[in-house]
Amino acid sequence: MLGAALAKSKVDKENHRSFLFVGEGSLQMSVQEIKTMIKENLDIIIFVVNNDGCTIERAIYGRRQGYNDVSLWRHRYALHFFGVDEKLAAESNFTARIYVELETVLSDDHIQNGKVLKMIEIFLSREDVQGALLGLLNAQIV
C-alpha cells in the first residue's frame, strides 16, 4: 500500500495530496517506502490504523491465533527515524484514540495546510469489525 501511495503522489505531485489508510501490520511489511516519500518531499498523509494486530485475519482465520499479532512499534518516531528533522517530525505526527481527538487532529493547521509527509496513528480495539466480519468472528469457538 505504501508503494501505491508513493506512485500516485509522484505522478500527481503538483495537484493533489494523497491519503493512505494502512494497518500497522501492513505498514511493517513495507515501511522502507517512508524514506522515499520523505526524500521526494511528497504531500501524503498516512493514517496508521492500529488495532493491535491483524483484525481482518482474526475474523477470518483465527481470533486467538498468535500469528495475527504484530510487534508494537512506536509510530510517532517513524518520520524522525527515517531522517526528518526532530522538530518537524514531532509537528508531522499525530495520534487519535477517540473520535474527538481525531476531529482535533484533522482540523490542525499542520494537517490542513502542510505540504510534507504526515502520519496519524488511529487506535481501534482489537476486534473492531462489523457486518459479515463480525459474524465470522462471533462464529469462532472462543
The three three-digit cell numbers of residue 47, written as one number: 493514517
What confidence tens digit (pLDDT) does each residue in 98-137 have? 999 999 999 999 899 888 899 999 999 888 888 898 888 8
CA distances for 61 relative to 23, 71, 78, 103, 140, angstroms: 17, 19, 30, 33, 9
What confidence tens digit (pLDDT) does each residue in 19-38 have? 999 999 899 988 999 999 99
- The secondary element (H helix, E strand) that includes residue 41 is none
CA distance 82 to 73: 14
At residue 62 the predicted structure's pLDDT band, cuts being 50, 70 and 90, is confident
Spell out the domains of the chain, with CATH numbers in brackets: 2-126 (3.40.50.970)
pLDDT at residue 1 tops 80: no
AA identity, residue 81: F
Q: Coil, strand, or helix at residue 69?
A: coil
At residue 9 the predicted structure's pLDDT band, cuts being 50, 70 and 90, is confident
